[in-house]
């Protein structure tokens, strides 16, 4: 029995696992127990921003671990401060709260908005969120998430959440009123098929938020940290959020989440009103600061832009070659979705055989989230394997 098979005996079967025994990662690649190499286009679902085993992250983690692993939030640690400073100095935010995950960062954001609303009126606790959005698995995160498949089995959730369709400005206007404390959305919907908010919708969000004194809450758990070509995806828009959440790529593979708040909201949550034992763990924060230092380098950003253009162009060439297989190509930067209809699973399995790990979302979309250390060599490898897979499908093999 392999350890993967043994896992079925001891671990709750909540995930659809891939039939692979991965033993090691290096840069853009993973290796299984038989030594087979896979080009990793999952990158831990946008977590391993700098690939596997990045030397600067490794060094920062080692150095921190030699000092101490954990102190508790009775102490502020140097790595937390370093990471917070890098986040604040490079965003709209005035201050940061550290959590452990995306959903926990969103819980903090929910509490911030609830408290903000309550200080205005006890009935100002409602949220407007988007259909096909995803905000995490805690009861608060689930309440903001529209998809019934994730939540209907759990009974009553947080009251007062209205969902409207992405880019339906009229529906948004109808849903937001003086009882709304926050409007939450992703700039590009990661789990929902890689569609994004359009400028007209954003304009309307700003108008209704202002009119009804509601907070603009941006969930950048997946889109943040250069994933879309800008450090934060809201920078593509004419928009300054009131609060934003990050997680996934922030710790370069270690668990850390963050809530960033604008200066005017710094004093909404008072000491003792929110907290976390592990939030801002010094080792995860040290990894986060190392990740941020790399992401902020101009030459690193240039590589991300060049690779994004190359990858997209390559996909468009395939789209012209296989119009019956490839539908829309959505997303931005290195967060792309390729609509392939009923061929998604066939392509995923073929790619795996050929040494390429491809993720699927919404059953019909190939979700491409490669590490941001991608180069031309891996893009060519990726496109070659995808081309071969599509050729087989086109030939009816």
Ligand X SMILES: Cc1ncc(COP(=O)(O)O)c(C=O)c1O
- Report the nearest approach of ligand X to the CB of residue 102 (Å): 2
**In the structure encoding, which two tokens stand for residue 237, read together?**
């828009």
Round to whole Å and give the CA distance between 132 and 163. 9
Nearer to ligand X, 109 or 208 (CB): 109
Q: Using CB under 6 A, which of 52, 54, 124, 135 touches ligand X? A: 135
How far apart (Å, rounded) are the C-alpha atoms in residues 198 and 184?
15
89: its two tokens: 């100095």
Distance separating alpha carbons of residues 192 and 276, to the nearest angstrom? 29
The β-bridge relationship of strands 356-357 and 37-40 is: parallel
Round to whole Å and give the CA distance between 243 and 20: 39
The region of 86-94, 186-194, 308-316, 323-331 touching ligand X under the rule CB under 6 A is 186-194
Q: How far is the CB of 134 from ligand X (least distance, A)?
A: 5
DSSP string, 11-59: S---S---S--EEEEEBTEEEETT--EEEESSHHHHT-TT-BS-HHHHH
Name the residue nearer to ligand X (CB basis): 43 or 101: 101
Binding part of the chain for ligand X, among 35-43, 71-79, 133-141, 362-370 by CB under 6 A, reads 133-141
Question: From the list 51, 140, 182, 190, which residue makes contact with ligand X (rule: CB under 6 A)?
Answer: 190
Q: Which residue from 43, 49, 180, 222 is in contact with ligand X, where contact means CB under 6 A?
A: 222
Q: How far is the CB of 97 from ligand X (least distance, A)?
A: 15
Q: Please, which residue, 223 or 390, has the CB nearer to ligand X?
A: 223
Given the DSSP bridges, would you call strands 257-261 and 243-246 parallel, antiparallel or unpaired?
A: antiparallel
Task: Draw the binding track, 93-122, toward ligand X (x: CB under 6 A; -: no contact).
Answer: --------xxx--x----------------
Q: Site for ligand X (CB under 6 A): which residue of 247, 259, 261, 366?
A: 247
114 labelled as ligand-binding?
no
Q: Does the annotation place 380 within a ligand binding site?
A: no
Instruction: Please report whether residue 186 would count as binding ligand X according to CB under 6 A.
Output: yes
Q: State yes or no: 134 annotated in a binding site.
A: yes
Q: Determine if residue 276 is labeled as part of a ligand binding site.
A: yes
Yes or no: say if 248 and 102 are a contact pair by the CB < 8 Å rule. yes
Residue 324 among known ligand-binding residues: no
Q: Per rule CB under 6 A, is residue 184 in the interface with ligand X?
A: no
The least distance separating ligand X from the CB of residue 191, rounded to whole angstroms, comes to: 6
Instruction: Give 15's Cβ-side CA count (13 Å radius).
Output: 7
The token pair that represents 178 in the structure block: 């003086």
- Whether residue 64 is annotated as binding a ligand: the answer is no
> 201: part of which helix (H) or strand (E)?
helix 199-212
Q: How far is the CB of 144 from ligand X (least distance, A)?
A: 9
- Residue 207: CB minimum distance to ligand X, A: 24
Taking CB under 6 A as the rule, does residue 279 contact ligand X? no
Task: Give the Cα separation of 345 and 228 in Å (integer).
Answer: 25
Q: Does 219 engage in binding with ligand X (CB under 6 A)?
A: yes
Q: Is 222 annotated as a binding residue?
A: yes
CA atoms within 13 A on the CB side of 156: 2
Q: Is 352 annotated as a binding residue?
A: no
Rounded to 5°, the CA angle 98-47-9 comes to: 100
Rg for the chain, CA atoms, rounded: 21
Per the annotation, binding residues for pyridoxal 5'-phosphate are 102-103, 134, 219-222, 277
Residues that bind ligand X (CB under 6 A): 101-103, 106, 134-136, 186, 190-191, 219, 221-222, 247
């Amino acid at each position: 029995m392999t350890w993967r098979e043994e896992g079925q005996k001891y671990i709750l079967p909540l995930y659809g696992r891939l039939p692979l025994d991965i033993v090691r990662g290096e840069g853009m690649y993973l290796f299984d127990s038989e030594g087979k190499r896979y080009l990793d286009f999952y990158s831990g679902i946008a977590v391993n921003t700098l690939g596997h085993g990045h030397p600067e992250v490794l060094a920062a983690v080692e150095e921190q671990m030699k000092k101490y692993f954990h102190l508790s939030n009775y102490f502020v640690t140097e790595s937390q401060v370093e990471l917070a400073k890098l986040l604040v100095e490079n965003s709209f935010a005035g201050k940061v709260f550290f959590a452990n995950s995306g959903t926990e960062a969103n819980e903090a954001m929910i509490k911030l908005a609830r408290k903000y609303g309550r200080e205005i009126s006890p009935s100002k606790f409602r949220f407007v969120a988007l259909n096909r959005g995803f905000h995490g698995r805690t009861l608060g995160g689930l309440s903001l998430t529209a998809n019934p498949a994730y939540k209907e089995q759990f009974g009553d959730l947080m009251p007062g959440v209205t969902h409207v369709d992405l880019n339906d400005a009229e529906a948004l206007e109808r849903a937001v009123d003086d009882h709304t404390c926050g409007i939450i959305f992703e700039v590009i919907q990661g789990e929902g098929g890689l569609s994004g908010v359009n400028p007209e919708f954003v304009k309307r969000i700003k108008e209704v938020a202002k009119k009804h004194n509601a907070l603009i809450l941006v969930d950048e758990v997946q889109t943040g940290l250069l994933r879309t070509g800008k450090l934060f995806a809201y920078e593509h828009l004419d928009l300054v959020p009131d609060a934003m959440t990050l997680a996934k790529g922030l710790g370069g593979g270690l668990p850390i989440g963050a809530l960033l708040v604008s200066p005017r909201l710094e004093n909404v949550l008072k000491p003792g009103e929110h907290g976390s034992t592990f939030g801002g763990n010094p080792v995860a924060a040290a990894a986060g600061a190392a990740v941020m230092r790399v992401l902020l380098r101009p030459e690193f950003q240039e590589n991300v832009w060049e690779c994004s253009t190359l990858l997209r162009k390559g996909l468009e060439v395939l789209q012209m070659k296989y119009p019956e297989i490839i539908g829309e190509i959505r997303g931005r930067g290195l967060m792309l979705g390729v609509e392939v209809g009923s061929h998604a699973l066939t392509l995923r399995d073929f790619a795996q055989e050929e040494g390429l790990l491809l993720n699927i979302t919404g059953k019909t979309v190939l979700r491409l989230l490669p590490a941001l250390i991608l180069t031309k060599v891996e893009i060519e490898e990726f496109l070659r394997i995808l081309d071969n897979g599509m050729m087989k499908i086109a030939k009816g093999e």
